[in-house]
Amino acid sequence: MKYHSIEEIIKNNQAWVSQKLAEDSTYFDKLATGQKPPYLYIGCSDSRLALTRFTGTEPGELFVHRNIANQVSLTDINFLAILEYAISYLEVKDIIVAGHYGCGGIKAALLGITIGLVDNWVNPIREIYLQNQDKIDALPTQEEKLNRLAELNVQMQVKNLYQTSIMRQALGQQKAPTVHGWVVDIQTGLIKDLQVSTKQWQLPSFSGLVL
């Protein structure tokens, strides 16, 4: 793969700005007025997953949180701040948790070929594997095992989402966004909706302090 140089990237940016202005001279004036995105997208940091391109969405449509292997971590202050802001202030209508096949984080968790801190970060995925070991091990190829683990990981992150106080509070106030679990198949470029059922993970609504 040939990569663009920094100079090319800056030139591309200028060309894109000119093209956008030719289509609509007020494009950036409108963009500058603020954001009210309808979607929160939680995805993997993988460089191949430029979801804006994959979905034909425009700047201003997706509020984004990305990390290795699209984890919804209840101890990640960065993620929690984004979730709270997205639900309470932006009032997003939908939350998309998107994993992908061919994910290095999933591979690292299953095959144990990580180095450094990534090894700690992907440990929750190892837990998912251990909980589903029989079903995953029964699959014939390594690719299928990794793909299945990527899907189970999305399901688990959706479940984690429902365990945040932010989501539980939103559910109690009937303001919770709809949650979708997706897997992006990099080999085809297509998005697969896993139709994750979220009903069973909706805990009794959060109605104030009970300490």
The reply on whether position 62 binds Co ion by CB under 5 A is no
Given a contact cutoff of 8 angstroms between Cβ atoms, the answer to whether 187 and 145 are in contact is no
Cβ-in-10-Å burial (0-12, 13-18, 19+) of 92 comes to buried
Q: Which stretch binds Co ion (CB under 5 A): 99-107, 112-120, 155-163, 171-179?
A: 99-107
Cβ-in-10-Å burial (0-12, 13-18, 19+) of 119 comes to middle
Is 126 considered catalytic here? no
Tokens of 24: 């609509």
The reply on whether position 154 binds Co ion by CB under 5 A is no
Place of tokens 């289509």: 23
Cβ-in-10-Å burial (0-12, 13-18, 19+) of 23 comes to exposed
Q: Which stretch binds Co ion (CB under 5 A): 29-37, 97-105, 152-160, 189-197?
A: 97-105
Tokens of 107: 């591979």
Is 46 considered catalytic here? yes
CA of 54: how far to CAs of 15, 132, 155, 185, in Å? 21, 31, 22, 11
The reply on whether position 103 binds Co ion by CB under 5 A is yes
Check 4, 24, 65, 103 and give the catalytic one: 103
The reply on whether position 42 binds Co ion by CB under 5 A is no
Radius of gyration of the chain (CA): 19
Toward Co ion, which CB reaches closer, 103 or 146?
A: 103
Residue of 44, 125, 170, 179 that binds Co ion (CB under 5 A): 44
Is 180 considered catalytic here? no
- Smallest separation, CB 66 to Co ion (Å): 9
Given a contact cutoff of 8 angstroms between Cβ atoms, the answer to whether 28 and 21 are in contact is yes
Tokens of 30: 């409108």
Toward Co ion, which CB reaches closer, 149 or 167?
A: 149
Check 100, 148, 168, 180 and give the catalytic one: 100
Check 4, 24, 29, 48 and give the catalytic one: 48
- Smallest separation, CB 15 to Co ion (Å): 30
The reply on whether position 46 binds Co ion by CB under 5 A is yes
- Smallest separation, CB 144 to Co ion (Å): 17
- Name the DSSP class of 91: -
Question: Residues in the site for Co ion, rule: CB under 5 A?
Answer: 44, 46, 103, 105
Active site residues: 44, 46, 48, 100, 103
